[in-house]
Amino acid sequence: MLCCGTTTITGSWVAQSFPIIGGTNQFRVRFTVNDNATNSTSVEGGVDGVKLQRVICAQPCPADVNGSGGVDIDDLLAVINAWGPCAPPCPADTNASGTVDIDDLLAVINGWGACP
């Protein structure tokens, strides 16, 4: 299960938000309504305004390939070692082009020092 959530509501709409971790192109959303009372015939459920939202957090200092808080020789070596095509996640691909190349090397050189 990627996420889950339940709510018990009596007569009013309530906004709910659930984080989804991971996921694939086979992602599905399912809603289930049930009544805990026995012999009940008046179970109702409603769904309105469903929105799936993808949040991508940009790295504040993309030239800091190893996440150390600064750009130094270790980042430079990481770019050199990852040279060529790469699939995400690929921290050495500082511009998310899908390839670690001269642009990433220059980003590390230009970003040398402590990250802001």
Q: Mind listing the domains of the chain with CATH numbers?
A: 70-114 (1.10.1330.10)
* Span 93-114, pLDDT tens digits: 999 899 999 999 999 999 999 9
Per-residue confidence at 22, pLDDT binned at 50, 70, 90? low
Structural element, H or E, at residue 99: strand 99-100
| Nearest Cα residue to 8 out of 26, 30, 33 | 33
* Span 49-78, pLDDT tens digits: 777 776 666 667 889 999 898 999 999 999
Q: Above 60 in pLDDT, residue 44? A: yes
Q: What is the pTM of this model?
A: 0.50
Is the CA virtual torsion 107, 108, 113, 116 positive or negative? positive
